[in-house]
Structure 1
Amino acid sequence: MNRWLPILISLAGALLLWASWPTAPFTFLIFIAFIPLLRLADVVQHRAKFFGCIFLTLFLWNLATTWWVGNTTVPASGIAANLINTLVMSVPLLGYHRSRQRLGRTAGYFALIVYWLTFEYIHLNWEFSWPWLSLGNVFAMHPSWIQWYEFTGVSGGTLWVLLTNIVIYETWRQRRKYPVEISTFLWKTAWKPVALIAIPLLLSSLIQYNFKAPSGPAIKVVIVQPNIDPYDKFADENESAQLEKMLRLSAEKTDSTTTYIIWPETALFTHGVWEHKLAYEPTTDKIRAFLRKYPQATLISGATTLKRYDAVDEAPKMSRMAEGGNLRYDAFNAAIQLDTSMVVQVYHKAKLVPGVELIPYARYLSFMEKLALNMGGITGGYGLTPGVALLEEVRTHIKVLPTICYESVYGEYVAEHVRSGANLLFILTNDGWWGDTEGHRQHAQYARLRAIETRRWVARSANTGISCVVDPMGKLQQPTPYWEEGVIAAAVTPDDTFTFYVRFGDLISKAAIAFCVIVILYSYYLKFTKKIRDTNAD
């Protein structure tokens, strides 16, 4: 039994982590889901064996929770993504194992917290970024638990999860080591994990009770879900029919009071359009003709755009070379804003999906560009040259951040743009790539986190679902079914106030990075002084 115990513990950890993750209904299990990993550090001393055990837990968690990333034209890509993510998630746990052996149990727990928070922050900001499983995301289905995210962001949830698991594990371990009367145990020890869970919940309830909705006039938005097969939408012969469909659906609920019409990611110009010609395209003329019927309305839509670089020195290193070799250009997953004027604003997606839209660090390993997955339309990766930071409606002075698909998972990125003046958040997405899996459902739930962190209304237009509106408290409104066309009309209120998180950013992660450096330096200092003592003793 002892021989198989580490494997059983590893399997238990994977099961608990999977069962607690959205959209499963057992979120509360996250408060004990890390305990098997803590237990492994106690029962497995050998580093390689410990790595094997935690790798098993993390890989099964990744596979069970995000297997759908391989539901593409190249199924092996999902296994590769899960393996890579498992490897990088193993690093903070290996660091914890070593720190616990060198610094002791209490310091080891502290090291685990700062290592894990540092890992999550790095995972948000490097090119292999995949923050889907950041621990604080686990509470997305329960906005009433996490209203305090307006102060901490998702990293506050990660800290809550880690602290609670550590305290519960230590409470169990102390009870096992020093048996006492149950009344004494409850009075002296068991109250600690209870309080650690209860206090954030009570704080969230207090914030919710005292919350004041944004003041000011509401505006009407119309959200279109065209329900176009993502693998067919890039066919040349379908582009005109798709435009007619989206105009028809928009007309169902657009009227003289509509301020915004929202279309999903890559709804327009699926094969790309030159940005300097955008205002004169026949498609643009058709949309303007439609908008003249509703002169107060502005359209924000996903699009594929192309930008040419006339001077060689202004072209980014990873820009493309046109056939013939006399022109460099970039392709962008973009959002465009159109009204009845000749002005077209273009926003470029900044957080690109590794392996599909971006080959990590391909500028150093150019041969890897060929590895980009073909998901229809533009292949070989998108550009990262900035477009406009926000889409501004000049008549009303409303500024919109049109996060495109994956960007909506990045809390600090969204907060930075709110700090720059975004009054509303729109999400334009095309989640249908992965079929009717947990992928699109998890993504829709994560929109609640951005609403709470920024206290902004969120309007979400998804090509095949789920389209919805999210209020500033994280409540989902009018969600559309998956794989059905639909139109939502909703009233949302632009806001100019800043939450603590918007104003100051992710302070918890930044503090964790500083402490992480201190712990690592102190650990090496102890190792160095031990060597000196051992040498002197000889």
Structure 2
Amino acid sequence: MNIWLSFFLALLSGTLATLAFPPANFTWICWVAWTPLISALWFGHLGKHNLFKLFALGYLAGLSFFWISLFWLHEVTTGGWLLLGFGLSVYPALWALFVGTVGMPRQQDSTDNRIWLNSWNNLYRAALGAGAWAALEWLRGLLFTGFGWNAQGVALHHVVPLIQIADITGVYGVSFLIIMINLILVMTIRRLILEIRHYGVRPHWDFTLTLLLTAGAFLYGLRQIMSHAPAKLISTRIACVQAAVPQVLKWDPAFDEAILENYRTKSQAAIRLRPQLLIWPEAATPHPALLDDRDRGMIQNLAQSFPGDFLLGTIHFQGDQSFNSAVLFTEHGQNIQLYSKIHLVPFGEYIPLRHSFPIFAWAVGTLIPNDFTPGSEPVVFSMQSVPLRIAPLICFEDTLGSLARLFVLKKASFFAVMTNDGWFKRSAGSEQHLANAVFRTAEFKLPMVRCANTGVTCFIDRFGYVTQQLSDPQDGTFGSGILVGELQIPTNPTPTFYARFGNIFAVSALLLTGIVAAFHCGAFYWVRRSRI
């Protein structure tokens, strides 16, 4: 295999992997998408500068995956989209370097008569490579403020039984299964080719055991769905207002009154259906809801007109600092609870390393003249209409399991997401956002309500099934309207393994693969030294 074919296979893998995600949603392709890259890493005959070429192959695969799957970001900032792709591609590049060296299976495996030894060796190599992938995905969501969007496991967001293992491993355990099958497929096909040509086909157990592992995860999910029953569920009536205010009008003072009237009219229609919780999306009001007299007055009038609670997103100021915040009004608007978004969107709400690397600000242009300030701590809201506690997540925060866990540890009963995906117009961004958010329900076995300005307004049960969704034949999920329905919420939920121990699976994978890599490097060093 020449180097150009290897580069083509790397680009092909990244491209195929995007097809498993929205908008294509060819879920099945995730099981084979990375096999071209793995083949290039193992059978590419890269020659001189092997380590650099391994890194380059992974980097190319990463570029094709991130630039295609995150193409909707160009609606906001082409420069930010390009820079983000350059940065995120380092992670698959590091994985390729690991798999092409430490994770490389022995070429003589297919000729070894000790069948079980060969199979276990293949399983070890596949598990090692899958563990490295899970570890790097976790780091991607953590380092440099983190951007964990579209972990490989998210491709299975529609296969709800199979994602239930997330209540133990987080989304990274689902990614582990996907990558392990990709690796074991390449090993199996390579071995079969050699055996057909030279040695005769013999039974091996590595592929079978990998399938059994995946089947076991599926059966675990079915058992969770069928038997996981909290002591008590409260059926809570919730109304979400999706105003579908275009971004070009949202901050134009000439449209302030029209925006408020839009929300007022829809809210009054929702209130007539007697919700216990009324929700507006992220940054709904034209001006800060707690500081502007006109906006505050309209909100107070609505809050006084019904006995339920009123949750909304708004910009908030303290001194010279600006926050993306959520406010809960209870007791007819007399009691106020405030939370400010902790995890801001890079190149959306702030520019990373703005002063250290001015090129980042230059690439984004005038879109983000000033950075938002992150909130200091998670705040769980207490409802007055029913004895429940809300985990208010703003926009991108519902894609972060480690952040959602902080709210769960504070005894949250359910997630309420306020978002505005209107920045990305009618792109795949909003559907991908939902696909990522689904995993928070599976991880913690808590339901979620999502209220979007434009995007996907919906209810999700505690396993990850979307039970209700705002949509119409003409505008799909992007139009305006109200969604009113019942969400079944546990009053005293039992913390899942993931809630109690967090990302112990991903951390363990990082430690184990790090130890193996260190041992491999040490052995390589001593072998080279002994030859001198």
| Deviation at residue 128 of structure 1 after TM alignment | 4.9
Q: Partner residue of 2:296?
A: 284
> What is the match of residue 67 of structure 2?
63
Per the alignment, residue 485 of structure 2 pairs with 490
Partners of 1:519 and 1:76 lie apart in 2 by 38
The aligned residue for residue 79 of structure 1 is 82
Paired residue type of 2:208: W
Provide Cα deviations, 1:189-213, integer angstroms capped at 9, x if missing partner.
6533432432222222232222326
Equivalent-residue separation in structure 2 for 1:297 and 1:374 (angstroms) = 41
Distance between the aligned counterparts of 1:388 and 1:57, measured in 2?
A: 36
The 1:473/1:111 distance shift into structure 2, 3 A limit, reads: closer
CA deviation string 1:152-172 (max 9, x = no partner): 220110111122112222211
CA distance in 2, matches of 1:87, 1:152: 24
Q: Give the one of 427, 432, 454 matched to 1:464.
A: 454
Which aligned pairs between 1:107-118 and structure 2 lie closer than 5 A? Answer: 109-118=126-135
Per the alignment, residue 326 of structure 2 pairs with 335
User: TM-score, normalised to structure 2's length?
Assistant: 0.87
Distance 2:366 2:277 in 1: 32
Contact preservation (8 Å) 2:304, 2:333: no
Q: Secondary structure at the match of 2:196?
A: coil
Select the residue among 289, 297, 300 that pairs with 2:311.
300
Distance 2:188 2:62 in 1: 24
> Is the CA contact (8 Å cut-off) linking 1:269 and 1:305 kept in structure 2?
no
Match among 489, 493, 501 for residue 498 of structure 2: 501
Q: Which residue of 2 aligns with 1:449?
A: 439
Q: Which whole-Å CA distance do the structure 1 matches of 2:183 and 2:234 have between them?
A: 47
Residue 79 of structure 1: how far off its partner (Å): 2.2
Aligned match for 2:263, one of 224, 246, 257: 246
**Matching residue's letter, 1:62:** F
Distance, in Å, in 1 between the alignment partners of 2:166 and 2:205 is 31
Instruction: Give the aligned residue type for 2:352.
Output: P
Q: Which residue of 1 aligns with 2:118?
A: none
2:53 maps to 1:53: no
Q: Aligned equivalents of 2:468 and 2:87: distance in 1?
A: 37
Residues in 2 aligned to 1:385 and 1:416: alpha-carbon distance in whole angstroms = 13
1:228 alignment partner, one of 245, 252, 257: 245
Offset of residue 404 of structure 1: 0.9
Equivalent residue runs for 1:384-533 within 5 Å = 384-386=374-376, 389-394=379-384, 396-480=386-470, 481-495=476-490, 496-497=492-493, 498-533=495-530
Q: Which amino acid aligns with 1:409?
A: T
CA 1:190–1:160: 2 relative to 1, 3 Å: closer
Distance in structure 1 (CA, Å) of the matches to 2:164 and 2:375: 35
Displacement of 1:69: 0.9
Aligned-pair distance for 1:14? Answer: 2.8
> Which stretch shows the higher mean deviation, 252-261 or 227-236?
252-261
Identify if the C-alpha distance between structure 1 residues 240 and 441 changes in structure 2 by more than 3 Å, giving closer, same or farther: same
**Farther-moved stretch of structure 1 (413-422 vs 355-364):** 355-364
Match of 1:96 among 77, 91, 99: 99
Q: Deviations over 1:92-114 (max 9, x none)?
A: 22233232469998676454333
Change (3 A) 1:362 1:98: farther
Unaligned runs of 5+ in 1: 309-328
TM-score (norm 1): 0.86
Inter-CA distance 520–360: structure 2 relative to 1 (3 Å threshold): farther
The reply to whether residue 174 of structure 1 matches residue 185 of structure 2 is no
Measured after TM superposition, the shift of residue 58 of structure 1 is 2.2
Match of 2:174 in 1: 157
Displacement of 1:372 after TM fit? 5.4
- Amino acid of the structure 1 residue aligned with 2:326: A
Contact 1:143–1:448, Cα closer than 8 Å, also in 2: no
Amino acid at match of 2:479: E
RMSD (CA atoms):
2.9
Q: 1:365 to 1:221 in 2, by over 3 A?
A: same
TM-superposition CA deviations, 1:461-520 (whole Å, max 9, x none): 111121111111211122123331110111123323122211221221111122133123
Match of 2:22 in 1: 22
1:206-242 Cα offsets, whole Å, 9 max, x none, are 3222232672332211101001002210112222321
| CA distance, structure 1, for counterparts of residue 273 and residue 215 of structure 2 | 48
Note the alpha carbon deviations across 1:119-160, whole angstroms, 9 max, x for none.
Answer: 211211223522112111111122132222222220110111
Which letter does structure 1 place at the counterpart of 2:530?
A: R
The yes-or-no answer on 1:356 pairing with 2:367 is: no
Aligned-pair CA distance for 1:432: 1.4
Choose 109-118 or 86-95, whichever is displaced more.
Answer: 109-118
